[in-house]
Amino acid sequence: MRWSRKDLVGIRELSAEEITFVLDTAAAFKQVGTRDVKKVPALRGKTLVNFFVEPSTRTRTSFELAAKRLSADVINISATTSSLTKGETLKDTAKILEANHADIIVLRHSSAGAPQFLAERLRASVINAGDGAHEHPTQALLDLYTIRERRGSIAGLHVAIVGDILFSRVARSNIFALLKLGARVTLVGPSTLVPRVFERLGVTVSHCIDEVLPTVDVVHLLRVQHERQRKEYFPGIGEYIRLFGLTKARAKLLKADCLIMHPGPINRGVEIDSDLADGVQSVILAQVTNGLAVRMAVLYLCGGIASR
């Protein structure tokens, strides 16, 4: 297929063919990472701005490394060091970046829709690095890449996503991507955070993790987002662990080849027992490694369109 998007704002608007194309392109870039010289000239002469208005470790460093592996120049901007603190609008800040000939803007923002807003107004390529509770498309792509790498394909697998679905951009992007590629998805968590209305998306909703765990090929544990929670939605931490935490006792319910995933950052001992996070079924660090190849693929594909 021929890639035609200058921006990656969400998974919702991608076709199954486009998702598969990104994953296949990422596989080629992963191979580059095994060479002595881990750099290719694909984006030489291009400038990428990593514009993070919310904190990040994994996504920001992964995009920076991906851009450098593609030979792009990289500038990092955070909310606290930008003129956003002086009242400059997001649009004006982005226009300043474009006036400095930025070719690609990677944006993380607390407001859902911020990347779409910029994508519609800039010639530069805009990549969503997580916007509010809306989408985190490259996280879902790296999650699917990791599943496909371990299990051969996505179609026909049963995936449980556990936890704070209501406020989770990771969950939303994963749901769209997994369904498009033919997986069966069950959402698990307290009824306040996993309302039945999600079933309209084509998933199953369960409030009993012990019934679901023996049936799944992948269990994806979401971070408890203390910063986005309101008390009325969330049981206490102790109750959450008792009802939904992946404890050692509960992990005995899993099939022996079930993959354990987590987007990070992990609250060890809350979403998952610390030993399980580092155990043989965990692919949490593989997710991070694959994120680099997936982000190289996204920057290469979208950046190539923006520069035409």
Q: Does 290 bind ligand CP (CB under 6 A)?
A: no
Residue tagged active-site, from 59, 93, 138, 146: 59
What is the nearest approach in angstroms of ligand CP to the Cβ of residue 56?
Answer: 3
Reported as type and span, the H/E element at residue 186 is strand 184-188
CB 127 within 8 A of CB 105: yes
Residue tagged active-site, from 46, 108, 172, 223: 108
DSSP state for residue 135 in the 8-state scheme: B
* Cβ proximity to ligand CP, 40 vs 266, nearer residue: 266
Select from 43-51, 57-65, 253-261, 293-301 the region that touches ligand CP (CB under 6 A).
57-65
DSSP state for residue 87 in the 8-state scheme: T
Q: Is 5 a catalytic residue?
A: no
* Cβ proximity to ligand CP, 16 vs 65, nearer residue: 65
CB 225 within 8 A of CB 271: no
Residue tagged active-site, from 58, 68, 207, 255: 58
Q: Does 59 bind ligand CP (CB under 6 A)?
A: yes
Q: Does 163 bind ligand CP (CB under 6 A)?
A: no
Q: What Cα–Cα distance (Å) separates residue 123 from each residue in 20, 93, 126, 295?
A: 26, 14, 9, 20
* Cβ proximity to ligand CP, 25 vs 225, nearer residue: 225
Q: Does 174 bind ligand CP (CB under 6 A)?
A: no
CB 81 within 8 A of CB 57: no
Q: Does 132 bind ligand CP (CB under 6 A)?
A: no
Phi and psi at 212, nearest 5°, equal: -85, -40
Indicate if the alpha-carbon torsion angle 284, 159, 215, 182 is positive or negative: negative
Q: Is 68 a catalytic residue?
A: no
- Give me the residues that bind ligand CP (CB under 6 A), please: 56-59, 130, 139, 263-265
Catalytic residues: 58-59, 86, 108, 136
